[in-house]
Structure 1
């Protein structure tokens, strides 16, 4: 996710008339793409991810897979928050000339929130890899699943993914810095985000952005996810042929697999366009890309698709996950249902005594779900 695209476009000063015209068209396009549509999607997504975490933490949902999905929801929420703070809100100032002070504050925030957003995106990618591998083992190699797909191992993997995501993105914290320049039209000093010596180093770009980025963030995980997902689809297709002979546990596993396949497919569809965006951003001159309206629209849409991917999982869980739906309904319905129905019942003690049967009346309370 190239969160800095907006900053790179708007902080530049186009000299040619064509670039000035493109500059204003880009601001308007990004306002409607990010400031309007993006804000709505992100707000819904944050709520959806919080609800997903509440459901996945329920005792009926606890499993190694639910731990992966909770971790995924946390990373997705981080991506959505970064989108709002760094992309959506700044476009409102640029288009409507409001929230000026926030816009300048966001420039300072960009230096730190942008790397954190990339940590969240890296975590999203490799958490998806994690539960894809786990589901592949559970479905295609069920005899190994009991010893491999355990909760304790899943927790260790989640921690490892987080640590590696942070370490991998450490250079991002030193890629940009903020300097203050005098703006005569505003009659004040304004912050400007500029590339550091490390960020502009040619060798650093070749090694980190071209070699590592393509292999670590795109080719490696996406090829693995794609191959394993094909295997999962094939396994589910074969399972449908023997549906009548499936046990209850097998049917639940099949339903969970279908739900995760849906998550993986949406992940691939939404994330793959960002690969082309990042390749273009790395290989071509940034000043030329900033004066290309087609590229600006492309990168705006690809960033929006990343946001959609971070916001849509709750819907997928509800549509494809039967147990998730039941637990969600239970959580939502429980606070509103009646306290219970009180009734009396009578027990007769027939101990065989000649003195007669004793009778006791009990009050009890029953609730119905």
Structure 2
């Protein structure tokens, strides 16, 4: 997002030379931008509430919650920057307003840019996380967990602050006093500092560092990884009824993230182009058409920070159910709410059930899975039910004792020797014969 204040009139009390440009800023940014910011903050707050629920226990939702919080901060500070554009151009600015905004801009502007950069990096982070989870599932258990996701989020926030420290030295507020008749007038100007106006600083920070670290490399990786995710979802859906419920749920989440990334690219690419045009040119050569394009691209960036709740809701079935359960309870009766809760709990339980416990030893023989006996275990999603057989040990011949003892003396079939290739049905028949045979 550019918001290059020096590209416009720096003097707050001097009307723009182009009335149509000022009107565009007033209607597009002053009115439209403020409305988008207000509704976007509401949407981001609702997203944070849903994404931080216990049922949303996944590394993906950690990244999305951090992104929603970052977008909320972007919109809050953007509203402060848009205060200038909320005034009708013909009315001018009040002296108090001039003073307030002149001292506010040099600090709010770099803070806003900081959270915008952080938002871009968080989008890249959850895309990489989802790519590993879908395309490299064997690495997902160690790399895609909540603890690692929280550490990555903290590093990204810290990196965003460090990366944008130089921007706090770009602008300053200049105070000019001059006499008009018998009175003294004061003028407040927002000017570039010596550092911000330096040719090499502009080329290094605004051109190459921004292009490589904020736009070029992240946008390229987002496009490539998103293509892999789209292909993975497409191949999975081609299987039709062959895919299980867990894979369908995973595809829903992946589709939701693809929607977020595509929305991000559509809204951010124009701002990238405007930024590069400003960085590689001089202010005197920027035309009025550039300023119009820059305002539209700024509006798209604001829109991107405000509408992420839409792909969450329309593509994320789990998010949508939890959203309705939290905020739309008045539209459901108790039975329907319990049903939705059970559905979400079942999906979470299914995910945990598919993880192989460290206390389980499994062997595959002749296409069948044999699980050693133990007091606590979790069943693997690919395991096959193998029938148990009774031991040949009898107690005292009593029927009642017989049933009770047999229940405690179940043994697993051993697939060795001449019976190694028997099917589970054959083992059941053998088991029945042995149980009915006399001692």
TM-score normalised by structure 2 residue count: 0.72
Alignment pair present for 1:163 and 2:162: no
Match of 1:222 in 2: 219
Q: Cα gap change, 1:311/1:187 in structure 2, threshold over 3 Å: closer, same or farther?
A: farther
Instruction: Give yes or no for contact 2:11–2:189 (8 Å, CA) kept in 1.
Output: no
**Unmatched runs of 5 consecutive residues or more in structure 1:** 342-365
Alignment pair present for 1:2 and 2:13: no
Alignment pair present for 1:97 and 2:91: yes
Using the TM superposition, give the Cα deviation of residue 55 of structure 1 relative to its aligned residue in structure 2, in angstroms.
0.5
**Superposed structure 1 runs of 4+ greater than 4 Å apart:** 12-15, 183-187, 335-338, 366-369
Greater Rg by CA? 2
1:327 to 322, 334, 338: 322
Q: Cα RMSD over matched residues? A: 2.5
1:195 to 176, 180, 192: 192
Q: Cα gap change, 1:275/1:57 in structure 2, threshold over 3 Å: closer, same or farther?
A: same
Using the TM superposition, give the Cα deviation of residue 104 of structure 1 relative to its aligned residue in structure 2, in angstroms.
3.1
Match of 2:377 in 1: none
CA–CA separation in structure 1 for the residues paired with 2:315 and 2:40:
18
Using the TM superposition, give the Cα deviation of residue 96 of structure 1 relative to its aligned residue in structure 2, in angstroms.
5.3
1:27 to 22, 26, 44: 22
Cα deviation digits, residues 313-355 of structure 1 (max 9, x gap)? 01111111111110000001347767x79xxxxxxxxxxxxxx
**Unmatched runs of 5 consecutive residues or more in structure 2:** 341-439
Match of 1:304 in 2: 299
Q: Secondary structure at the match of 2:87?
A: helix
Match of 1:11 in 2: 10
Structure with the higher fraction of residues in helix conformation: 1
Higher relative contact order (CA 8 A, sep 6+): 1
Q: Secondary structure at the match of 1:198?
A: coil
Match of 1:346 in 2: none
Alignment coverage as a number of residue pairs: 336
Using the TM superposition, give the Cα deviation of residue 213 of structure 1 relative to its aligned residue in structure 2, in angstroms.
1.1
Q: Secondary structure at the match of 1:179?
A: strand
Instruction: Give yes or no for contact 1:92–1:99 (8 Å, CA) kept in 2.
Output: no
Instruction: Give yes or no for contact 2:37–2:302 (8 Å, CA) kept in 1.
Output: yes
Cα deviation digits, residues 124-155 of structure 1 (max 9, x gap)? 01000000000101111111111110111001
Instruction: Give yes or no for contact 2:203–2:280 (8 Å, CA) kept in 1.
Output: no
Using the TM superposition, give the Cα deviation of residue 297 of structure 1 relative to its aligned residue in structure 2, in angstroms.
0.7
CA–CA separation in structure 2 for the residues paired with 1:8 and 1:81:
23
CA–CA separation in structure 2 for the residues paired with 1:276 and 1:367:
50
Match of 1:141 in 2: 136
1:254 to 251, 254, 260: 251
Q: Cα gap change, 1:368/1:102 in structure 2, threshold over 3 Å: closer, same or farther?
A: farther
Match of 2:400 in 1: none
1:83 to 78, 86, 89: 78
Q: What pairs up with 1:245-284 in 2 under 5 angstroms?
A: 245-284=242-281
Instruction: Give yes or no for contact 1:4–1:114 (8 Å, CA) kept in 2.
Output: no
Using the TM superposition, give the Cα deviation of residue 250 of structure 1 relative to its aligned residue in structure 2, in angstroms.
1.2
CA–CA separation in structure 2 for the residues paired with 1:367 and 1:255:
22
Using the TM superposition, give the Cα deviation of residue 94 of structure 1 relative to its aligned residue in structure 2, in angstroms.
5.2
Match of 1:181 in 2: 176
CA–CA separation in structure 2 for the residues paired with 1:13 and 1:260:
42
CA–CA separation in structure 2 for the residues paired with 1:184 and 1:238:
75
CA–CA separation in structure 1 for the residues paired with 2:134 and 2:91:
55
Q: What pairs up with 1:227-238 in 2 under 5 angstroms?
A: 227-238=224-235
Instruction: Give yes or no for contact 2:11–2:190 (8 Å, CA) kept in 1.
Output: no
TM-score normalised by structure 1 residue count: 0.85
